[in-house]
Structure 1
Amino acid sequence: MKGALLVAGTTSDAGKSVVTAGICRWLARQGVDVAPYKAQNMSLNSFVTPQGAEIGRAQAVQAAACGLEPHADMNPILLKPGSDRRSQVVVLGSPLTDVDAMEYGALKDRLRQVALESLDRLRAAHDVVICEGAGSPAEINLRRGDIANMGLARAAGLPVVVVGDIDRGGVFAALYGTVALLEPADQEMIAGFVVNKFRGAPELLAPGLDTLRELTGRPVYGVLPWLDGLWLDVEDSLALESRDRAAAGGPPYGRQSLRVAVVRLPRISNFTDLDALACEPGVVVRFVTGPGEIADADLVVIPGSRATVPDLRWMRERGIDRAIAETAAAGGPVLGVCGGYQMLARTITDLVESGEGTVPGLGLLPATVEFAAAKTLGTPVGEAYGHRVAAYEIHHGTVTPDDGAEPFLDGCRAGGVFGTTWHGALENDDFRRAFLTEAASLAGRDFTPAPGVSFAALRERRLDALGDLVEHHLDTAALTRLLECGPPSGLPMLPPGGTMGP
């Protein structure tokens, strides 16, 4: 089998990443040499490859679904928003510049060539490449110069499967409208649809699926059922909305549970660091936005941020800083990761991200922070609690602990307040259990982590579950034909169709 296809979506968080990972795992289990690819990713959840390149976290997990090490070509362009108007542009794993939307437009021709060359290299090295789109192909305001959706599909001759999220409602209008808004040359690339996150009896969908095919001339390749807790390493903070709703509707904290409050910063990054905590039996993780939600927590976590100084100001405006200080004064525990670690220091000097100069930190750790123009990217290995810890780091802010400060991984601690720049440390099972044991003790909780929980094994089981969804609920024979033959010919065009150009 040789070929490639593009998984697009009607919206962000429609399930493109999940479906892409599922197809990758299904193909890999058939013995196919398959690789993932996303030309342009806008996400604050990123990962550092073994070669020291920064890519989207979702593509790293899709690589795991393929049985591959992640590589910069799998996500050649990564946009990391630092505000509502500006983003850092990471190209082939290294930061290039910070731009606004208009400035980014001037880079499009150069970046399109980079993206296509990465795809060419992947297709030369692997038999099949499963590409993931970005946002929606029907964002017609962004169509001219597009390098992630239909512009990519046309340039590389990729058949496109559009995923719609039925849990949001309006899935038939979204699928039909996505095709109808495209110009004819783009419509020719749309091969069919997948309905995602369905709860209920599939037969209830049959009339709608039949009508959608009559109206568009394109099949629905399958309906994927809703499965709770299926996905790890989500791409953006939209997915936190469903986590928040689930937590709000879930059971109250149990007496034997360890209650973890994670501050949901406006520019939260790498919140997937907390996935490993949430997978521990008896640990309840909630993302919070107010001081009252911290009061009954046993462990407070300040996660990473793409805007450390503005997010620190946001915490102060809401009184979250005082709630954290009260937790620390009572003995903790408080954990800061990367940007969260920087916030815990005495002072932060930032002429790079915010340009605000020197501002006071929370003052809960004996350390100072200075932002450097060069980004630190790495895959460090260390030791804590007598256990090996492998992690990765991505930051501009450099934290310098005072002489004599008690070390903690690469960072420091003061009593029950811990800080580290290392992402992914909690995925190390022995370290995670040791840290939670101390955190519970500091909080005065009767909690002992369950032995034998393997985060890596859990991720593998979930990737297998995604592969099972594809195998059992999608028309895999039709997907194979798309990979081998490309976009179907003779597809009908829907009115009105635009003329936005290649």
Structure 2
Amino acid sequence: MSGALLVAGTTSDAGKSVLTAGLCRWLVRQGVKVAPFKAQNMSLNSMVTLDGAEIGRAQVMQAQAARIEPTADMNPILLKPGSDRRSQVVVLGRPVADVDALEYRAHKDRLREVALASLDRLRAEYDVVVCEGAGSPAEINLRAGDIANMGLARAAGLPVLVVGDIDRGGVFAALYGTVGLLEPADQALIAGFVINKFRGAVELLEPGLRMLQGLTGRPTLGVLPWLDGLQLDVEDSLGLDVPLPGMLDPHGADTLRVAVVRLPRISNFTDIDALTCEPGVSVRYVTTPRELADADLVVLPGSRATVSDLGWLRERGLAERIVRRAREGLPVLGICGGYQMLAEEIVDEVESGVGRVEGLGLLPVRVEFAADKTLRRPTGSAYGHDVRAYEIHHGVATVGEGAEPFLDGCRSGAVWGTTWHGALENDGFRRAFLREVAGAAGRDFVPAPDVEFGALREARLDALGDLVERHLDTDAVRRLIEDGPPAGLPLVAPGGPGP
């Protein structure tokens, strides 16, 4: 098998990332050498490749589904919002600019060439490349400069599957409307539909599928059922609205309650995924001081806007409550941006440009933002266990006296801080850390000795492969990959404006 395919969606969070990962796992199990690709990704969840490039975390997960090492070519353009109007532009794994939406337009022609060159390199190295779109291909206000959806499909001649989320309602209108808003040359590449997150009897859906095909001339190639527990490296905070497995049954003396502060610019919240897999750990995201009342551990996660989010903590009254509980000996963990907030002083002329800011003062640390971003994959040890992690930050922390070393950060009393993302995915370290937290919080909680996060992730990726194999017309998908878009697909009225 040889070729490529684009998975587009009616909306963000429709299931593009999950279907792309499922296709990668299904194909690699068929003996196909496959790679994922997303030309342009807007996400605050990212990771570092072995050669020090920063790419979207979803593409790392999809590479794991394909059983290959991720590279910068799999996500050549990454946009990291720092406010409602400005984003850091990361190209082939390195930050190159900080722009607003209008300024970004000036970069589009060059970035289109970068994206197409990355796709060409992947297609030369792999049998199949499964591409993921961004947002919706029917965002007609953005079509002229599009490099992630129909702009990519047109340039590379890719057949397109459109995924719709039936759990939100209105899926038939969303699928029909998506095609209808596209100009004829774009419509010619839309080869079929996939309905995602279906609950119930498929027989009740079939009349609608037949009518949709009659209206559009395009088949629905699969109806994927709702499956709990498949939250895999979501791209943005929309995914935080889905209940976490560890949110269940938060009561009992042997339950460890973890409250993760949902910062406005929260980043790399995938750090928390490993905690949700631990039996007896209840995890929830919080935005008010009241929600911290019964927490055994408060986590301040990463942030793309450390100083701004620190100000938000103070405005909400969360800062005062976190400081009070830390001084009472109750555990607090800060990761990357959250660690920086725990410092005595932050000097930031780079990210926010505000200069000196007083931190929460819970760790004897001074943070100064550097122009160059630190991107690396460190290794170390804590509690007698090896730890592998990754770093993505501009802030450089200098630790003063009175603190113990902790994963390139420090600890003081029941407050821990580290620049390392992904540390909690290391099973031995995670269990030892949770035992320490439980002791400080006065809980009887004992971590399960046999939870392996890597094995759980593999099982989830296999479940996605099974989902594709059992519920998708894989013969039709093979034909699309090998032969490209079918000829003679009908035009769906009204048709959209040209680019």
For normalisation by structure 2, the TM-score amounts to: 0.99
Counterpart position of 2:475: 477
For the 8 Å contact 2:253–2:445, the answer to whether it is kept is no
Q: CA deviation at 1:343?
A: 0.1
| Paired residue secondary structure (2:375) | strand
Counterpart position of 1:467: 465
Q: CA deviation at 1:332?
A: 2.0
Alignment deviations for residues 441-498 of structure 1 (CA, whole Å, 9 cap, x no partner): 0000000100011000000000000000000000000000000100011000011112
Alignment deviations for residues 399-426 of structure 1 (CA, whole Å, 9 cap, x no partner): 1110453100100010000000000000
Partner letter of residue 286 of structure 1? R
How far apart, CA to CA, are the structure 2 residues paired with 1:64 and 1:33? 13
How far apart, CA to CA, are the structure 2 residues paired with 1:199 and 1:392? 38
Counterpart position of 1:167: 167
| Paired residue secondary structure (1:25) | helix
How many residues align? The count is 499
How far apart, CA to CA, are the structure 2 residues paired with 1:6 and 1:329? 52
Counterpart position of 2:90: 90
Counterpart position of 1:335: 333
Counterpart position of 2:298: 300
How far apart, CA to CA, are the structure 2 residues paired with 1:243 and 1:120? 39
Q: CA deviation at 1:247?
A: 7.8
Counterpart position of 2:278: 280
Mapping for residues 161-240 of structure 1, pairs under 5 Å: 161-240=161-240
415-424 or 250-259: which moved more? 250-259
**Alignment match of 1:368 (pick from 361, 366, 369):** 366
Please state if 1:431 is matched with 2:429: yes
For the 8 Å contact 2:336–2:419, the answer to whether it is kept is yes
Mapping for residues 102-141 of structure 1, pairs under 5 Å: 102-141=102-141
Counterpart position of 1:443: 441
Counterpart position of 1:347: 345
Q: CA deviation at 1:62?
A: 0.3
How far apart, CA to CA, are the structure 1 residues paired with 2:495 and 2:200? 34
How far apart, CA to CA, are the structure 2 residues paired with 1:253 and 1:307? 34
For the 8 Å contact 2:246–2:276, the answer to whether it is kept is no
Counterpart position of 1:40: 40
Partner letter of residue 221 of structure 2? Y
| Paired residue secondary structure (1:144) | helix
Superposed CA RMSD: 1.0
Counterpart position of 1:486: 484
How far apart, CA to CA, are the structure 1 residues paired with 2:138 and 2:472? 24
Counterpart position of 2:5: 5
Alignment deviations for residues 346-381 of structure 1 (CA, whole Å, 9 cap, x no partner): 011111111111010000001011001100000000
Q: CA deviation at 1:103?
A: 0.6
How far apart, CA to CA, are the structure 2 residues paired with 1:348 and 1:486? 53
How far apart, CA to CA, are the structure 2 residues paired with 1:312 and 1:449? 32
How far apart, CA to CA, are the structure 2 residues paired with 1:211 and 1:254? 52
For the 8 Å contact 2:278–2:447, the answer to whether it is kept is yes
Alignment deviations for residues 297-326 of structure 1 (CA, whole Å, 9 cap, x no partner): 000000000000000000100000111112
Partner letter of residue 363 of structure 2? L
Alignment deviations for residues 212-244 of structure 1 (CA, whole Å, 9 cap, x no partner): 000000000010000111122111111111237
For the 8 Å contact 2:404–2:412, the answer to whether it is kept is yes
| Paired residue secondary structure (1:256) | coil
Partner letter of residue 308 of structure 1? T
Counterpart position of 1:325: 323
Partner letter of residue 265 of structure 2? R
Q: CA deviation at 1:330?
A: 1.5
Alignment deviations for residues 46-105 of structure 1 (CA, whole Å, 9 cap, x no partner): 000001000000000100000100100000000000000000000000000000001100
Over the matched positions of the two proteins, sequence identity in percent amounts to: 75
For the 8 Å contact 2:363–2:412, the answer to whether it is kept is yes
Partner letter of residue 269 of structure 1? S
For the 8 Å contact 2:34–2:127, the answer to whether it is kept is yes
Partner letter of residue 399 of structure 1? A
201-210 or 42-51: which moved more? 201-210
Partner letter of residue 449 of structure 1? P
How far apart, CA to CA, are the structure 1 residues paired with 2:250 and 2:44? 30
Any runs of at least 4 consecutive aligned residues in structure 1 with deviations exceeding 2 A, and if so which? 250-255
**Alignment match of 1:358 (pick from 356, 360, 363):** 356
Q: CA deviation at 1:280?
A: 0.5
| Paired residue secondary structure (1:418) | strand
Counterpart position of 1:14: 14
Task: List alignment gaps of at least 5 residues for structure 1.
Answer: none
For normalisation by structure 1, the TM-score amounts to: 0.98
Q: CA deviation at 1:206?
A: 0.7
